[in-house]
Amino acid sequence: MYETLGILMRWLHLASVATLIGGMLYGWLVLVPATGVLAAEARKTLVDRTAALYGPLVFGAIAALVVSGGYNLATNPGHHPLYYILLCVKLLLVAHVFAVGIVLVTKNPEHRGRLFAGAAVSGLLIILISAYLRRTF
């Protein structure tokens, strides 16, 4: 049973990361350039609709990441200090991605492209740090 729960939590974590970071990459590389050619009213309608559709995914992914990340941390204690230093850097980047995700789906910021880009880059750095931590420790 314990192994099954661990596998489920790992899957939940990876699926949530894919949803959140994939959405940020899509917003940055596809949605923002595509809406740039639309009239202001059409752009606002599209942005409002996409924010309404992406909102539940963002909040669901954040909740799943907090639960599965907490589980992963609780079940894998006792690492080297370097592990915890990198984990803190990763968690600061995670806080950035969470905050930007919430702003993007609850507000209508004019600098949407920069927010998507910053969160996507932070997300890719999180994945890089995670891969290093998983491989090294």
Q: Which residue has the tokens 């899957």?
A: 11
Which positions ≥6 away from 97 have C-beta within 8 Å?
Answer: 20, 21, 24, 119, 122, 123, 126
Task: Pick 3 or 2 by higher pLDDT.
Answer: 3
Residue 79 banded pLDDT, cuts 50, 70, 90: confident
Asked if 124 contacts 93 with a C-beta cutoff of 8 angstroms, the reply is: no
Q: 3 pLDDT exceeds 80?
A: yes
Q: Extract the tokens encoding 7.
A: 């596998």
Predicted confidence (pLDDT) per residue in 9-49, tens digit: 999 999 999 999 999 999 999 999 999 999 999 999 999 99
Strand segments (E) across the chain: none
pTM: 0.94
Helix (H, G, I), strand (E, B) or coil at 137: coil
Which positions ≥6 away from 58 have C-beta within 8 Å?
Answer: 20, 23, 101, 102, 104, 105
Q: Which residue has the tokens 């891969």?
A: 131
